[in-house]
Amino acid sequence: MTDLTGKRIAFLATDGFEDSELTSPWAAVTDAGATAVMIAPEAGSIEGKNGHTQQVDEISASADPSAYDAIVLPGGVVNADHLRMDAASVAFAKAFFEASKPVGAICHAAWLLIEADVVDGRTITSYPSLATDLKNAGADWVDEEVVVDQGLVSSRTPDDLPAFNAKVIEEISEGRHEGQQA
């Protein structure tokens, strides 16, 4: 496994996240030596759709993207829908593209990327119901387990987590990707 010691990884989510799409990548990056930090629109804790509770470390309105090496965006319909309506969360996610930093997005998290206006011209996958939304935003949507496009790692469902986690760790270890732009 690649060593991510010294790396700080932001996880951005809110209530209604897909539990395994937070807990599995979180375990993968921390097992690789990184520090994972939970960012959410509000302080306190957030709860996944299946009951996992996660303490919030920072709120998106005051979190500094420059303090992180990468961001992971868990899915979940309710989570993604609420995040894309939160301007601070959208701006926080977009800042990683502006800084050419790795981004991991799984399942419905691609909605947030559409709102951040960062998918035009990118090859991406997601939960299949987002295909039309992504195509309408200019993305080349493909139905694959995991897709990597210049530091953007995307996957479809919890079934894809092993491949997603491996590629997220690989992209974080590679660092900035000049093709990763807003």
| Residues 125-172 pLDDT 10s | 999 999 999 999 999 999 999 999 999 999 999 999 999 999 999 999
SS3 content of the chain, % helix, strand, coil (to 5): 40, 20, 40
- Residue 147's nearest CA partner among 131, 132, 164 is 164
Residue 1, pLDDT score: 60
Q: What's the predicted TM-score (pTM) here?
A: 0.96
Question: Which residues are paired to 134 by β-bridges?
Answer: none
From 52, 82, 108, 177, active-site residue = 108
Mean pLDDT across the chain = 96
- The domain limits of the chain are 8-174
108 is catalytic: yes
Give the whole-number percent of the chain exceeding pLDDT 90. 94
The residue annotated as part of the active site, out of 52, 82, 107, 177, is 107
On the CB side of 161, CA atoms within 13 Å amount to: 17
The domain 8-174 having CATH identifier 3.40.50.880: the answer here is yes
